[in-house]
Amino acid sequence: MALLDKDRLFPLEDRSRGIARALYDQVKGLPIVSPHGHTDPRWYAENEAFPDPAQLLVTPDHYVFRMLFSQGIPLEALGVPRADGGPTEADGRKIWRVLAQNYFLFRGTPSQMWLDHVFEELFGIDERLSAKTADMYYDRISDCLAKPEFRPRALFERFNIEVIATTESPLDPLAWHDKIKASGWSGRVITAYRPDPVIDPEFAGFAGNVESLGEITGEDTRSWTGYLAAHRNRRAYFIARGATSSDHGHATARTEDMSQDQAAILFEKALAGTCSAEEADAFRGQMLTEMARMSLDDGLVMQIHPGSFRNHSAPMLATFGRDKGFDIPTRTDYVRALKPLLDAFGTDPRLSIILFGLDESAYSRELAPLAGVYPSLKLGPAWWYFDSPEGMRRYREMTTETAGFYNTVGFNDDTRAFCSIPARHDVARRVDCGYLATLVASGRLAEDEAFEVAHDLAYRLAKQAYRL
């Protein structure tokens, strides 16, 4: 018995299924381009073995532990560290058994599809995970992880990753990236410029962060012009380490285009910690426009992904800290929010902005119509909760008719779960091929064109959009 159906995610009707299979056969072996993600550059720099199955697949994956938590399993039982350093489960095998006993909870979810892909393709297991098979799984995976061919660089090569981006703060020295480069290893690991800690007046330690930015760059970040110069300087530093994009995850898509004098005054208040919530929001909006202005010169592609209410549960934030599965999407307005930036630079062909959404109702209503006319805008793929078969299908069905394929940017996986990268790209390739096959079978696309588009969506558009 196999965990994976070889025709999974293809349309059910025979003719379209056949077309999907043919399209997929052509793209399944293409290299992986992963231009947006959160793997740890240290893995590639040090190339140490991953510690154990639970540390690899359970404890760091918020998709996995949030589902278990939703059914009453404490995060402590899954080894998730507490902010107060209090005790959490340290025995990987015990954590693994909790996953195994509760694996039925993941029925119908992409997490199960990704995990089963890892189990079968990476570790060669073909029995379903359950209480009964828990220890067999644990032993098998542990054995594998001890072998050299399961170290990060070997996996990177086995996964056929052509390039992967990590995401770092401007305050990060990028030492791991330098170490990777110095090692002579051929794997291409680049960084991306994620300036929240020095852009968001409400980020913990904002003023200190800006001061550090000044020290690192040798600019006087107490003044607005020095602060902007420091960004330019630091962006150049990141670009020298391969960065081709910046990454912005504000709560809303708000942008501003105020005068430099007004911006300078707001910056002063931000440093002094006297911004109101509204002023802090306006400052973040202004900084998106400033980042766009810098992109005109240095060519960094901007990624904007608004709409997440971060760390929704106050007690969970207090007990376990950020990023514990409590980021919840909210309604997002793009049309009014982006107008100041777009009025300033939106029709400049030098600017490239990749827009992501967490509010699917905006796909057909706002995102596709905007990307279908502004030369600076492209649509990022369905991501986060929507990095899933149904999410991807709805994305194509709601954006293609207005924005076409060529105002989208292919797929990016956005993951910290390294082993799931091939699984996620495989799902995207299957779903896109299935969608294209449906268009062909219903007379909306010629078959030869579908082959070209399938290749573009699986490989070429991501490279082009991210300037890789």
DSSP-based three-state secondary structure for 274: coil
| 100-139 footprint of a copy of itself as x/- string (CB under 8 A) | ----xxxxxxx--x--------------x-----------
Please give the distance of CA 463 from its chain centroid, rounded to a whole number.
16
> What part of residues 58-87 is at the interface with a copy of itself (CB under 8 A)?
66-67, 69-72
Q: Which residue has the tokens 């209503």?
A: 365
Can you tell me which of 12, 90, 182, 204 binds a copy of itself, judged by CB under 8 A? 12
Q: Which residue of 13, 91, 139, 143 would you call a contact of a copy of itself, by CB under 8 A? A: 13
Min dist. Cβ of residue 150 to a copy of itself (A): 26
State in angstroms the smallest separation of the CB of 444 from a copy of itself: 6
382, 351, 210: which is closest to 289 by C-alpha? 351
Q: Tally helices (H) and strands (E) across the chain.
A: 22, 9
If one asks whether residue 402 binds a copy of itself (CB under 8 A), the answer comes out as yes
10 binds a copy of itself (CB under 8 A): yes
- Among 160, 262, 274, 313, the residue binding a copy of itself under the rule CB under 8 A is 313
Check binding of 22 to a copy of itself (CB under 8 A): no
Task: Find the binding residues for a copy of itself in span 407-426 (CB under 8 A).
Answer: 407
**Burial class of residue 254, CB neighbours in 10 A (0-12, 13-18, 19+):** buried
Q: Report whether 54 contacts 185 (CB < 8 A).
A: no
Q: Closest approach of Cβ 265 to a copy of itself, in Å?
A: 24
> How far is Cα 178 from Cα 184, in angstroms, rounded to an integer?
10
Q: Least separation, in Å, of the C-beta of 446 and a copy of itself? A: 7
Kindly tell me which residue out of 79, 306, 325, 410 binds a copy of itself, with binding defined by CB under 8 A.
Answer: 325
- Reading phi first (left if > 0) and then psi (alpha if -120 to 50, else beta), residue 242 is in left
The answer to whether residue 441 forms part of the interface with a copy of itself (CB under 8 A) is yes
CA–CA distances in Å: residue 138 to residues 43, 57, 142: 22, 11, 6
Q: CB 42 → a copy of itself: shortest distance, Å?
A: 28
Q: Which pair of tokens denotes residue 108?
A: 């119908």
Residue in 190, 342, 433, 465 binding a copy of itself, rule: CB under 8 A:
342
| Cβ at position 134, least distance to a copy of itself in Å | 17
- Give CA–CA dist 254/336, Å, rounded: 8
Using CB under 8 A, pick the residue from 82, 310, 322, 444 that binds a copy of itself. 444
Q: Using CB under 8 A, which of 339, 416, 455, 460 touches a copy of itself?
A: 339
Among 114, 386, 411, 418, binds a copy of itself (CB under 8 A): 386
State which H helix or E strand residue 33 sits in.
strand 32-34
Instruction: Rule CB under 8 A: choose which of 388, 412, 415, 420 binds a copy of itself.
Output: 388
| Range 171-190, binding a copy of itself (CB under 8 A) | none
**Using rule CB under 8 A, residue 15 touches a copy of itself:** yes
Q: Which is nearer to a copy of itself, 225 or 361 (CB)?
A: 361
CA angle 213, 35, 141 (to 5 degrees): 105
Which is closer to a copy of itself, CB of 290 or CB of 426?
A: 426
Using the rule CB under 8 A, give the single segment among 41-49, 135-143, 267-275, 344-352 that binds a copy of itself: 344-352
Single out the residue of 389, 417, 421, 424 in contact with a copy of itself (rule: CB under 8 A): 389
Residue by residue, DSSP assigns 313-373 as -HHHHHHH-S-SS--EE-----TTTTHHHHHHHTT-TT--EEE--S-THHIIIIIHHHHTT
Among 89, 366, 414, 426, the residue binding a copy of itself under the rule CB under 8 A is 366
The residue whose two tokens read 């040090």 is 46
> Backbone dihedral region of 108: left (phi > 0), alpha (psi from -120 to 50 degrees) or beta?
left
Q: Is 443 in the site for a copy of itself (CB under 8 A)?
A: yes
Q: How far from 89 is each of 75, 82, 86, 95, 286, CA to CA, in Å?
A: 9, 11, 10, 7, 45
Packing angle of the helix pair 14-27, 421-441 (nearest 10 deg): 140
Identified binder of a copy of itself from the candidate list 94, 312, 416, 460, rule CB under 8 A: 312
From the list 187, 369, 460, 464, which residue makes contact with a copy of itself (rule: CB under 8 A)? 369
- Quote the least distance from Cβ 111 to a copy of itself, whole Å: 9
Total residues in contact with a copy of itself, by rule CB under 8 A: 91
Among 170, 242, 346, 381, binds a copy of itself (CB under 8 A): 346
Integer Cα distance of 53 and 49 in angstroms: 11
369-372: long-range contacts, CB 8 A cutoff, minimum separation 24: 369/402, 369/403, 370/334, 370/335, 370/338, 370/342, 371/399, 371/403, 371/407, 371/408, 372/402, 372/403, 372/404, 372/407
Give the residue, chosen from 294, 445, 461, 465, that forms a contact with a copy of itself under the rule CB under 8 A.
445
